[in-house]
Amino acid sequence: MTPPIRYTMTAPLDLPLQEQARLIATGAISAVELTQAALDRISARDGITRAVVDLNADALALARDIDEMPADQRPPLAGLAFGIKDIIDVANQPTRCGSHAHDATPAQDAAVVARLRQAGMIPLAKLATYEYALTGPAWDQPNPPARNPWNPDHITGGSSSGSAAAVAGGMMRVALGTDTGGSIRAPAAYCGIVGLKPTHGFVPDQGCFPLSPSLDVIGPLAGCVVDAALVLDAMTPEAGAMRKVGQDIKGMKIAYCRDWFADDLRCDPALLQALDDTAAALSLLGAQIHLTPLPVYDRLEAAGTVILQAEALAIHRTPLSQNYDKYGVDARRNLLTGAVLDDADITRARQIGLEFRAAVDAIFADHAAILLPTTLGPAPAFADFADGPVWTAMRTLPFNVTGHPALSLPCGLATNGLPLGCQLVTKHRDEATLCQIGHVLEQAILPLPRPL
């Protein structure tokens, strides 16, 4: 009998989760070997990316338990590692939220972590975040900012900065992030990976420190669409994100909202070409592409910002007054902007959000999805933030306000060689169609070269 092929302990980490799971199930590799390979990658690469803030000391023991478990009793994702943004609790590991003002060691997992453990996955590491998921990069926090594996002189995007860097840097195939205004999707775009923001309220948020509860969503950053869909289904089985993966999109109507970015002076010329090429690729795959207008973007982003700032200050008002000096300078400034808002501002912002939600739902009455960019260009350089935070041009926050699911995936390279991302949006609780289109598109577009 021919013995199973033994892979070198770097190659499996670059395989999709389904393939990693198959290798473990067939005995081609062990969970311990795969986990050790991930730890070795972190040791070799994280000195550059600075994605990891705390390793799980029990990771190898958890992998050993899986290897000792009878094969027919192993859960579906047994032995696969994942990372966790450091505002999401992992039992017996510190949650610092990227802040000197926060240092807790929870006794139990966040709901999403518990569900992934039940699926057999191993929580490998807590990952860097901007302080309380607010703003960054900043250098007065407990850990230095995570760096972009494509070019360490550039940011990864915020606030799921470490999650994006860890996945793009090949240290793990999937990591959990949170998205309040684009904090899964923008880092995914900047780092050339996939970022999935589920429908608001779809994924349980117990054990995750909130930023703006009416906007916050937990979701995966991953090496491919199927990886993201698998993890979403493990966290929220009713999502059915894998249900349509592999089906074609012939005859599907997709609204291409080109007016939201094409004439914006901040739009990288390569991005416009990349989005037009993406629309053309979808058309060649059988979809019907319709140029479709959306309401003026800036007004929507302003409304979302009002909601975010008001809710964030409400959460931090008491701890900020008690531990003011422990908060970073940028975090304090960001939070205090909420103090100038009154009830009328918030009411008006929410009304604008409702109007936009109605406009988007009207598009979905006749279209399966919306296509637009994630950000208007590649990751900025750290040098751009020398004088403090800079608002980067994105097209994400309005879909936090409306609660629609959205997916960012790579669509090309900018003129400076850094990744660009396109964004798909579908109707509420239609993650299945979102991942169906994303997977088909991913297969049609040439993959980006790996940064490391």
Please report which residue ranges of 285-423 form alpha helices under DSSP H.
297-322, 329-336, 343-364, 397-402
Residues in the chain: 452
212 is catalytic: no
Of the residues 99, 183, 212, 408, only one is catalytic, namely 183
Residue 90 makes CB contacts below 8 A (sequence gap 6+) with 56, 84, 106, 109, 110, 113, 123, 126
Q: Which two tokens stand for residue 166?
A: 């860890």
Q: Examine the residue annotation and report whether 85 is marked as an active-site residue of this protein.
A: yes
Residue 408 is a catalytic residue: no
Question: Which of 85, 197, 244, 427 is the catalytic position?
Answer: 85
Amino acid letter, residue 51:
A
Q: Are 98 and 134 in contact (CB under 8 A)?
A: no
Alpha-carbon separation of residue 82 from 137, 232, 351 (angstroms): 24, 12, 38
Task: Check if the beta carbon of residue 328 is closer than 8 Å to that of residue 138.
Answer: yes
Which residue, chain included where needed, has tokens 């982003």? Answer: 301
Residue 338 is classified by DSSP as G
Residue in 78, 172, 170, 157 with CA at minimum distance from that of residue 125: 172
User: What's the CA gap between 209 and 199, in Å, rounded?
Assistant: 18
Q: Which of 99, 159, 212, 408 is catalytic?
A: 159
Q: Looking at the annotation, which residues are catalytic?
A: 85, 159, 183
